[in-house]
Structure formats: C-alpha cells, structure tokens
Chain A
Amino acid sequence: MRWTNTVLIAASLLYTSCDLIEPEFDNPLDVQNNEPPALLISPEDYTSSIGQSVEISVYALEVEGIAGMRAQINYDDTMLKILKVTAGTFFDSNESPLFVHDDDGRGRLDVYSVFMGRDKQVSGTGNIAVITFQVISNGETIVEVSNGSQLLDSSGNPIIIQSYGQGVIRAQ
C-alpha cells in the first residue's frame, strides 16, 4: 500500500499549482477606468452600520484650468443623513476659495467651490470635498455625482464633464 500512496502523491504533483491573484485595476481615479475630465467618488465601496459615520471623498479627475465647480451629489435620505461637508485639498491656495454647500433635505447636496478673481485656476486630479454621512438605516445605497454638476474655467465657461462617479454604502 505504501507504494500506491506514493503513486497517488506523485500523480497529485501533476496537478500542483498555486493560488494566483488576479488584480482588478478598478480605482476610479485611474484614467483608464473613467474618461477625464470627471467628477468621481473614491473609493467606491464603503461598509458601515447604523449610527456610524462614513466619509466620502469627491474627486476631480484630470481637469484643466478649473476656477470653479459645482458638484451635485444625490443620496438616499431615508438611509443617510449628512453630518458635515468640508473642502478638499484641490482648491487650496494662498487665497482660500469660496466653499459652500447646500443640502435640500430631500437627498440632494450641492457643493460649490469657486476662486474669486480671474487669475486663479487649478489643473490635474484632486480632492474637492469630503462629505460625512451618518447611516440611519440598514441596506445598500448609492451616492452619486449627478450630471447637474458643473466645472467652470476662469472665464466662467463650462467645461464638459465626461464621467460622473458613484459610490456604494453597505450598512449592516
């Protein structure tokens, strides 16, 4: 029996192979996943529980010569409640931009960030706002940047946004 066992072990070597990782390059800020210019949420997946808060970052992806923006965020107000909205680092400069937000209380949040004056603008990829939600009920809900969002250059001309991002919050 000893040799039959060894035959089986040797035969099993024929099928020996190790685990392989198959990485998915799904970072929303990767220009290969979203066509720029874009307004995105990164990361895209969040897990939380009732009563806990979740911080969601809104990013501008590969924008050029932006002097102002309006990010319109839709969310499910039966599951989420906005606790806080703070400015990101993208519009940081010696002169702080005008940063305001407006929550209509029915699941739509508008975030505005505008440089005062015509000589200031930013380019590239960066965090434009951090929104803190509180989870108020169980389930899965989507937070998305709506196509009502706008990017403006220093002359006030709109820049076409190619991609709008969204994130998923799972409350257990």
Chain B
Amino acid sequence: MFFRYGYRLLCTLFIYWSAAYAQQSSVITVAVIDFEQEGLSQLEIQTLTQRFISEVENTAKAILFDDNVVKSQIQAAGYELNACKKADCVVTAIGDSLGMQYIITGAIKKNDDRYRLEAFLTDVVTGKAERVINTNYSGPVDGMITELEIMAWEIMDQDPPESLTSKRKGKTKKKIKRPNAKTSLGALARATVMPGWGHRYLEQDTKSYMFFGSELVALTLGYFSYIEYKNAYEDVDIFWAKYKNATDHYQLQEYRAKTLEAEEVMIDNNNNLTVMFRIAAVVHVVNMLDAYMTEIAPQGIAEKARIDLGYDPIINQPQLRFSIALD
C-alpha cells in the first residue's frame, strides 16, 4: 500500500518535472483561427489561412492545435464561427480550457492591388497580444502570399528563410509591435516614480530591493535627523531668548551653555539630514540610470510556455500535454 502511494507520488513528481522541463522548450502550442476578410471570398480566405498555417508549421516552433477542436469549442460556447474571429471573442469562447497557450488571429483586406495583412499572437490566459504584425502590400497576388508566409515566421519570432525573402515583390510597409515587451523607457519611467520599481519591472528583484531599501533607509535616517534638528532648533530659540533676557550671572552662563549645546546638535543634525538626502538623491538617480541602461534580453514566447490541463470536448476527456523541443 505504502509503495503504491509512493509510486503515484513519484509519477506526479515526474509529471511536474516534465512540465518544468517543457516550460523551457522553445515550442509553443498555438491555434490559428480563420482570418477575417475584406474584398476576398470565403474560399480565398480559407486558402490563405491554410497557407499561413502551413508556414507556421514550417517554423517548427509551434505545435498547432486541432482546428476542429477549437471550432467546436467556439460553437459550443454559443458563438458563430464567422462572427468570432477576433482574439477577444475567441479567448472569451475557449479560454484556456483546451490547454493551448496562444491563438493567432488575423485579417486580410484587399483593395484593388493593395493588401493589408494583420496577424495577432495572443496569450490565451492573459488575453493580451504578445505580438502584432501589420503589413501593407501593393503588388501582384503571389507577392502578397509571400508576405503572408513571411508573417508566419515573424509572428513566431523567427527570421524568414532566404527562399521566402528572395521571392518578395511589390512594395511592402510593415510594423511589428510587441505590446507587452519590456522597454528601457518603461523601466526608466517606473524607476523614476519609485526606486526599485524599474528593476522589479525588469525582474531584477535583488537590485530592486537594494535600491528601494537604500533610498528608504537614507530617507528614514534623513527624516530622523530632521526631527532631531527641529527639536534642537526650538531649543536654540528658547534658550537664546532666555539668555538675552537673563540678568543673573549664573543664569546667563547656563543659558549660554544650553544654547551652544543645542546649536551644536542643530548643526550636526542639519549636516546629517543633508548628507542623507544627498545619498537618497544619488541612489535615486543611479537607480534610474541603471534601470534605463540595463540590457533587456529579448524574451522568446516559448520561454513563457506552460503545461496546462485541458479538456478535449471531442473525446470528452481531460488532457495533460507536455512537449520536448527537438531543436
């Protein structure tokens, strides 16, 4: 009995270990949703979407989710397939119940010989777009298809092969955005508002705590010095007034000594608070510069990969999926 439980425990641990290992894989699970169209027929858009899917498979960076499973799940959630092609609708319909990590949605719009191609890679869990590519192309149709195939590589964060780029035709204008990508300016803005926040944003927790702690300590010590300074300042004021009004020789000497003593404390604490505030200012500026100058390593999508439990509505069974990259 004990060994049976132990065996199960080992299996569970193995699954979690596999999951952890799989998280380091550079392969992600993706479902490609039929693109929206404008100026194109349904058949044309399905064909173009299939070309895009084929090229995504060629990148070897994606495990493509079964198209039928996704469609049936969308329909099961009460949505029309043709009306649910945008990322927010698909994410609402399927959520992360199927265990996939990302969906790719897009659109192809045609106006004479001008085309606008859009592709969005969206994190199913957060619902946020990880990568957005917009391409404006004008030229022959086969050139548009080439651009679509190139987009498949770019949406997977891969450089397109030369065999594709050499086929390029017409004129192309492209924008690739990473809405959630971390930037130096983002780090600087955060570091400016609060010390350490910029490093926290860059996931450098040690530096974050160091800067925040250093500035907090400096400001706290500066504040305590200010309190001491303020008290001493009031003492100087009081004893000096008493000295000026005193007529007794002994009182004069006493108030003079007390005034001098309080004055010394006042000056010392003023110096302390000046030094502490200067340290705080220097720490803050260094924190900002360091946050701004810290090199941001580009984070591959696959590094965020997860292993999830999913539910397959076709076979009516839960699924635990993990993958091992062969690259």
* CB <8 Å contact, A25 and B243: yes
Contact check, B246 vs A13: say whether CB atoms are below 8 A apart: no
Instruction: Give residues 179-234 of B contacting A (CB, 8 Å).
Output: 188-189, 192-193, 226, 229, 233
Give Cα A31–Cα B248 distance, bound, in whole angstroms.
11
Partner among B189, B226, B256 whose Cβ is within 8 Å of the Cβ of A18: B226
Nearest residue, chain B, Cβ from A36: B249
Q: Are A17 and B274 interface neighbours, CB within 8 A? A: yes
Least distance between A131 CB and chain B CB atoms (Å): 16
Residue B153 at the chain A interface, CB threshold 8 Å: no
Q: Are A14 and B192 in contact (CB under 8 A)?
A: no
In the bound assembly, the distance between CA atoms of A21 and B262 in angstroms comes to 10
Q: Which listed residue, A7, A10, A27, touches B246 by the CB 8 Å rule? A: A27
Complex interface: chain A residues within 8 A of B270 (CB) = 17-18, 20
Find out whether the CB atom of B247 lies under 8 angstroms from the CB atom of A59.
Answer: yes
Indicate if the CB atoms of A27 and B243 lie closer than 8 Å: yes
List the A residue with the shortest CB-CB distance to B247.
Answer: A29
- Nearest Cβ in chain A — how far from B298, in angstroms? 24
**Closest CB of chain B to A11's CB: distance in Å?**
7
CB within 8 Å of A: which of B281-315? 281-282, 284-285, 288
CB distance from A59 to the nearest CB of B (A): 7
Q: Are B278 and A23 in contact (CB under 8 A)?
A: no
- A42, B226: Cβ atoms under 8 Å? no
B226 near A13: Cβ-Cβ < 8 Å: no
Given contacts A3-B192, A21-B266, contact A10 B247 (CB under 8 A): no
Query: Contacting A2 at CB < 8 Å: which of B189, B248, B273?
Result: B189
Q: Assess whether B76 is interfacial by the CB under 8 Å rule.
A: no
Contact of B277 among A13, A19, A29 (CB under 8 A): A13
Taking a contact as CB atoms under 8 Å apart, the answer to whether A11 and B274 are in contact is: no
Smallest Cβ distance from A23 to chain B, in angstroms?
4
A125 near B233 with CB under 8 A, answer no
Q: Are A127 and B249 in contact (CB under 8 A)?
A: no
Q: Are A11 and B285 in contact (CB under 8 A)?
A: yes
Least CB distance, B129 to chain A, in whole angstroms: 26
- Cβ-defined contact, A11 with B249, below 8 A: no
Q: Is there contact, CB below 8 Å, between A21 and B249?
A: no
> Chain A interface residue count: which class?
20 to 34
- A77 adjacent to chain B (CB < 8 Å): no
Q: Mark A73-116, 1 if CB is under 8 A from B, else 0.
A: 00000000000000000000000000000000000000000000
Bound complex: CA A14 to CA B256 (Å): 33
B227 to A: closest C-beta gap in Å: 12
Is A65 at the interface (CB under 8 A from chain B)?
A: no
A125's partner among B249, B259, B280, B285 (CB-CB below 8 A) is B249
A145 to B101, CA, bound (A): 99
Taking CB atoms and an 8 Å cut-off, the chain B residues in 91-134 that contact chain A are none
8 A Cβ contacts from B135-160 to A: none
The answer, yes or no, to whether B34 is at the interface (CB within 8 Å) is: no
Query: Which partner residue on chain A sits nearest B281 by CB separation?
Result: A13
Task: Pick the residue among B237, B248, B278 that contacts A14 (CB under 8 A).
Answer: B278
Cβ-based interface call for A124 (8 A): yes
Which residues of chain B are within 8 angstroms of A30 by Cβ–Cβ distance? 243, 252, 256
Query: Measured between C-beta atoms, what is the minimum distance from A102 to chain B in Å?
Result: 26
Judge whether B277 and A125 touch: CB under 8 Å: no
Q: Name the B residues within 8 Å of A12 (CB-CB).
A: 281
Is there an interface contact between B263 and A23, defined as CB atoms closer than 8 Å? yes
Residue of A with least CB distance to B253: A30
Contacting residues of chain A (109-167) with chain B, CB-CB under 8 angstroms: 124-127
A27 to chain B, nearest CB (A): 6
Mark interface residues in B66-78 (1 if CB within 8 Å of A CB, else 0).
0000000000000
Does B176 reach chain A (CB closer than 8 Å)? Answer: no
- B10 interface contact, C-beta 8 A: no
**19 A–B pairs (Cβ distance < 8 Å), ordered by A:** A2-B193, A7-B192, A7-B288, A13-B277, A16-B273, A16-B274, A18-B233, A19-B233, A23-B236, A23-B240, A25-B243, A25-B259, A26-B244, A27-B252, A29-B249, A30-B252, A30-B256, A42-B247, A125-B248
Q: Which residues of B contact A (CB under 8 A)?
A: 188-189, 192-193, 226, 229, 233, 236-237, 240, 243-249, 252, 256, 259-260, 263, 266-267, 270, 273-274, 277-278, 280-282, 284-285, 288
